Amino acid sequence: MFQRLLRLAFATLSCFVLPVFAAPYLPASDSQVLERLPISPANPVFRELRALRTELASRPADAEVASKLAGRYFDLAMAEGDPRYIGYAEAALRPWMSSASIPPDLHIIRGQLRQYRHDFGGALGDFAAALAKDPSSTGARAWRAAIFMVQARYDDARSECVALAQHATELFYTGCLSYVEATTGRTRSAYDSLAAILRKNPRASASSKLWNLTRLAEMAHRLGEPATAEKHFRDALSLGVDDNFLLAAFADFLLEENRPAEVVALLKDRTRSDTLLLRLALAEAALKLPTAPKRIQALEDRFAEAGLRKEQLHLQEEARFRLQLKQDPSAALKLASENWKAQREPRDAGILLSAALAARDRAAAQPAIDWLEQSGFEDKRLRRDADALKALAK
């Protein structure tokens, strides 16, 4: 349970942000069919959701039932990359979305939904309120740490991870802390520490193993050990846990290793998720497949629709789309610069550096260059781009 919360927190906020509807849509009646989602009536998840919806309809003021239903929708959004589930979760919580007097569990799920829409201040407030009511809430601590990581507030994130040691398992606490350490110039020691603690816990849940294996894979890749990184990725995939973040991270690894055909095989049936569709389009374009133009147009349409809704939840992904698929460095740089104002994780820095280099604009990249030096983040590609940008001034 603890590690599932940590996995969701860091996966959700690791820059694979999905466009969502501007507000939850409420049907006129319970019988109205909105769309057939890819969950069959025989699926246990379908039965669970139906039971919770029925229970909430009969007891609409029951905060506990609403929290359970919203939480399951949120989990599905993270697993499948389908943003519509976020709207359903918000609809379930509608009576409590602006209330100040709510139980700790509702503060946590409301905070999750707020951070999804980049209301980081509101989310931090919810998690703080949950901790004030229940100081042992590991979920609230993990989510606060995740938001601080997005904001590059590493001392604050580290403090939250240290505080987890009082109530969480050793694996949970180590996973949180190792993520901070690996981002602040201590990748090798963070990798060794996390790998050792994972070996000590062979009976950890599949969800816990997935999160830690994904983190280890990313660290190993940055350390220049692609074979080790791939083993961690494949071990995570073998757990059979549906996870949008894992698929996106592995796809990025395969793309960097110049193995686009494997990305196509991995993602060809996962086009509901914008983050996975982007990586599929990149792979098909690299292979010059006849399906690539259709994927690119689908992404163009989705970004245009998000723009009409005045959403800014997908700037990093659109910047990558503009740079790598539309060959428009100027547009990509504008998006990456705007994205940096809210999100300052390694992938955010990476697209800002890449776009600035393509546009030959060192000044625009300076925030990411400064972050790279101040954080000590270890990544050869980012360092190479930063050095190339510095050389432009000479």
The per-residue pLDDT for range 377-387, each reduced to its tens digit, is 999 999 999 99
pLDDT tens digits, 227-268: 999 999 999 999 999 899 999 999 999 999 999 999 999 999
For residue 326, what is the DSSP state?
Answer: S
Per-residue pLDDT at 393 exceeds 80: no
Give the model's pLDDT for residue 98: 86
342 and 123 Cβ atoms separated by less than 8 Å: no
The pair of structure tokens assigned to 13 is: 């906020």
Rg (CA), the chain: 21
pLDDT tens digits, 150-172: 999 999 999 999 999 999 999 99
pLDDT tens digits, 68-127: 999 999 999 888 878 889 999 999 999 998 888 888 899 999 999 999 988 999 999 999
Predicted structure pTM score: 0.88
Query: Residues of the chain with pLDDT > 70: what percent?
Result: 89
